[in-house]
Structure 1
Amino acid sequence: MSAASDAESARRIAKLERINAALMAHVERSMDQQGSAYSLFQTAIMLEGRVRARTEELTGLMHSLERSNAALVAAKEEAETANRSKTRFLAAASHDLLQPLNAARLSVSALADMPLAPEALAISGQIERGLQTIEDLIKTLLDISKLDAGVVRPTIRPIRLSDLLHGVVANFQRIAEAKGLRLHVRGPDCVVVSDSVMLGRIVQNLVSNALRYTASGGVLIVVRVRGQACRIEVIDTGCGIAPAERALVFEEFYRGEAEMMDSEPGLGLGLSIVQRMAATLDHPLVLASRPGHGTRVSLTVPLGLAPPEAEARLGPVATRLTGAKILVVENDPATADALARLLRNWDAEVVVFRDLAGVTAAGDLAPDLLILDYHLDNGACGLAVAEHFRGGSGGLLPVIVTTADHGAEIAAEVAALGGELVHKPTRPAQLRALLTALLA
């Protein structure tokens, strides 16, 4: 019994030990799990703190960025306001500057028509060239201001390229011949889509610049069609442009080291205008040059699908305006006097008034043509004089409207009236040709 009892006790002890070991293992696992959960809890708290700190930091940065953006917007608006003010100031100043310049050019032209000694004629020519330089500078500065301010809105339409390019060549042919240079156009006739005035100015400035820096050889305008685009290239055999200067030639008033070669220095604004107008029209502009060999400037313009409508062309210009009765309304005394003298030199009969009141007070007038200044005293408009004569006769007399303002609104008003717009300073040759055509 004793041995059996001992064996039973041993089995029970062994069983209890196994149970105890299992319980201890379970307890240890439970403790390990609780420890892991606690560790995870601590980690979660730590990460939450980091996330909160980063969120606060990002929030602070966002607020700072918002304040910076607000400051940038305010600065941009201030700059745009200043730019618009500059444009308005330049437009007003250019009108005031071009008014006496207009009178001076008309007076010089009238003087050149008089019998003068050769020396006096030479001096008159020098004065004319000086006035032309001043006019070009004022107009170019105004153009740059308008382009920078973004107030220029191109009028995109189909353009017969050959007409435009041959017109440019005709304008510069005499200058090229005086320097012993060749000036030609080569390439197919095609229609492009662009603004005719701005595209013409770009090509004119490129040709003028090429002629200025070319001493021998010539300038060639080449037209190449590539797919749906047309590339206009102005190629010269001039001095070329050094690599260090190529990024500078499009800057204002930069004329290059070779400027000393030319007895007629430019203003250094031609290529600056070219770059701005090309950007406004979205026409890619590329310059390539080899010092000592010449320069090539390429402008890429989209091709048009249909030719533009044929434009009326003026017939031959007569040389005299004998007996024509011309009524002039001009509030600037110097301009009025110079214009009247010039017209009388052309054998026209001229009467001059300052405003509509003077015209109506004069009574019975039967002019053949009106030359009207758009801006008169006290905010009056010269177009009212045209309306006055139309109301009296039932028809509209030929009208030339002069102004130094290049605004599109004025051009639209004059076109609606059926008149011809001439921008000051008035070019005597242009005025004479226009008068002859209107009086024919």
Structure 2
Amino acid sequence: MTLHDAGLEGEASLRRRIAKLERINAALMAHVERSTDQRGGAYALFQTAITLEGRVRTRTEELTALMHRLERSNEALVAAKEEAETANRSKTRFLAAASHDLLQPLNAARLSISALADLPLGPEASLIGAQVERGLQTIEDLIKTLLDISKLDAGIVHPQVRPVPLPDLLAGLAASFAPFAARRGLRLVVRSPELAVSSDGILLRRILQNLLSNAIRYTASGGVALVARRRAGTVRVDVIDTGCGIAADEHALVFDEFYRGSANGAGTPPRAAEGDGPGLGLGLSIVRRLALALDHPLALASRPGRGTRVSLTLPPSAVPAASEPAARPGPVATRLSGARVVVVENDAATADALERLLGNWDARVATFRDPAGVAAALRAGGLAPDILILDYHLDDGARGLDVAALLREGRTAPLPVIVTTADHAPEIAAEAAALGAELVHKPIKPAQLRALLTSMLT
């Protein structure tokens, strides 16, 4: 081989080695580039992960703060609800106590006015006495209604739902309101098919009483209808009047406390007949609360100058209710000549008023303030009553029922008892019933007391 050929071969070998090295270098460079790219992507991912982690931590902290705020808000709401319920219960207890204290002097005033009416008076004095008595009746109604509203708001009233025969209930209402409607020169129409509804008979009667009273009071001419009818699987009771009507913008207000309407397009509501007294603006508020307690939907339809219809929707009773026997008329009250009546009453004004009233009825009255006075008179042998009139709550925690037990001890003949109280607690009614006593709530109505005394002494 020549030197030239050897040089050419060496050059070719060198070129091959260079080409090989270039390929190796290119491969290395590509690997480095890929590694660099991967490292850059990993770094970017790492940076992104750090950023996301920071955002998640921030959002978690914000969410945790919101949760804590929500917990504190819920705790505040619970505390506010408990505070409101406590205040409501306190209000109910206060009204119950206040009503008792207010009814005591009111009771004495009513009895004194009745005793005054039995005396020979001139026409002007009799008129003033009647006006005073109407004013006292209005005060009594207001106190009792406010107490009822408080009890309903506090959830103390628990309906006793049972079958109620509508014909009997509506007929009784018609008999009660017929004189009121007649004084106003109005027709009172009552219609009901033979059916029963599921309701609390006492509360349902109260609703319809208030609706009828309101309808008659604000109707100047025409009449009032109390109608029950079947409606799509329910029973609807309507109280319809031909009165002044109610403007549309007042429909949502008529069931509010002390709302007595305005003259919007209907003229001034008619004045109550002499002796009927002004409305208190509380009757329809009671109606709404009782309807809610009974779950009886209440609806109002009215147009100014065209009258009003208030509807109450009731569930029909699956069990027919037996009609209640007609109430027997009580005996005619006569003079209680010579009847020996023992009165135990810690309120001096009420005791004096009762003594005067019973004395006017020709009864022989012995009045005591506490059980100790009764026991002393009994030991002296000068106490042989025919009937007892006992206040339930006496001083120092004593009870009138304890006096009844004392005076009945050792007797063979029955000793009738009348228990008087301004407290409407059901426990008192149960105690009186267990003793066989008649319960009369204050303020005592003289005519009711006289009829009851005559009945129990007959």
The TM-score normalised by the length of structure 1 is 0.90
User: Shift of residue 219 of structure 1?
Assistant: 1.1
CA distance in 2 between counterparts of 1:260 and 1:294 reads 11
Mean CA deviation greater in 192-201 or 405-414? 192-201
Quick check: 1:314–1:437 contact (8 Å CA) kept in 2? Answer: no
The answer for the alignment partner of 1:131 in structure 2 is 136
Tell me the distance in 2 between the aligned counterparts of 1:299 and 1:35: 80
Aligned to 2:247: 242
> What corresponds to 2:429 in structure 1?
411
Residues of 1 paired with 2:361 and 2:72: CA distance? 68
**CA positional deviation for 1:245:** 1.2
Q: What secondary structure, in the 3-state scheme, does the structure 2 residue paired with 1:362 have? A: helix
1:349 correspondence with 2:359: no
Match of 2:235 in 1: 230
Q: In the TM superposition, what are the counterparts of 1:107-118 in structure 2 within 5 Å?
A: 107-118=112-123
Aligned to 1:90, which of 95, 117, 123?
A: 95
Q: Please give the residue correspondences for 1:183-202 in structure 2 after superposition, counting only pairs within 5 Å.
A: 183-202=188-207
Quick check: 263-272 or 233-242, which moved more?
263-272
The 3 A distance-change label for structure 1 pair 138 and 8 is same
Distance 1:291 1:105, change over 3 A: same
Could you say which residue in structure 1 is the equivalent of 2:184? 179
1:41 to 21, 30, 46: 46
Greater Rg, structure 1 or structure 2?
A: 2
Give the CA deviation at 1:30.
4.2
> What is the deviation of 1:132?
0.7
The correspondence of residues 4-403 of structure 1 with structure 2, limited to 5 A, is: 24-226=29-231, 229-258=234-263, 261-263=270-272, 264-304=277-317, 305-307=319-321, 310=324, 313-323=327-337, 324-363=339-378, 364=381, 365-393=383-411, 397-403=415-421
Distance 1:116 1:332 in 2: 27
Return the alpha-carbon distance in structure 2 between the equivalents of residues 309 and 416 of structure 1: 27
Structure 1: runs of 5+ lacking an equivalent:
none
8 Å Cα contact 2:257-2:281 kept in structure 1: yes
Give per-residue Cα distances to partners, 1:38-89, cap 9 Å, x unaligned: 3222222111111111111121122222223333333333333222222222
Q: CA separation in 1, counterparts of 2:144 and 2:286?
A: 11
2:452 pairs, out of 416, 419, 434, with 434
Give the whole-Å Cα distance in 1 for the aligned partners of 2:99 and 2:366. 28
Unpaired runs of 5+ residues, structure 2, are: none
Contact 2:220–2:243 (CA under 8 A) maintained in structure 1: yes
Percent identity of paired positions between Structure 1 and Structure 2 = 69
Moved more, 274-283 or 209-218: 274-283
Q: How far 1:37 sits from its partner (Å)? A: 2.8
Q: Which letter maps to 1:50?
A: R
Note closer, same or farther for the CA distance 1:301–1:375 as it changes in structure 2 (3 Å cut).
Answer: same
Count residues in correspondence.
440
Measure the CA separation in 2 of the matches of 1:113 and 1:164: 35
Deviations 1:310-339 (A, max 9, x none): 468344422314344332211222212222
Deviations 1:351-387 (A, max 9, x none): 3222222222222433332211111122211111122
Deviation, 1:20, is: 5.8
SS in 1 for 2:190: strand
Structure 1, residues 378-415: CA drift from partner, whole Å, max 9, x if none? 22111111222333226753222111111222222222
C-alpha displacement at 1:242, in angstroms?
0.7
User: In the alignment, is the contact (CA less than 8 A) between 1:112 and 1:121 conserved in 2?
Assistant: yes
> Structure 1's 153 and 244: CA in aligned 2 closer, same or farther, altered over 3 A?
same
- What RMSD in Å do the two structures reach over aligned CA positions? 2.7
Query: CA-to-partner distance for each residue in 1:19-48, whole Å, 9 max, x for gaps?
Result: 665665555444434333332222221111
1:210 Cα deviation (Å)? 0.9
Contact 1:159 1:193 in 2 (8 A): yes
Aligned 8 A contact 1:386 1:396 in 2: no
**C-alpha displacement at 1:222, in angstroms?**
1.3
Residue 119 of structure 1 and its aligned partner are, at CA, apart by 3.1
**TM-score normalised by length of structure 2:** 0.87
1:130 partner letter: G
Verify the 8 A CA contact 1:389 1:396 in the aligned structure 2: no
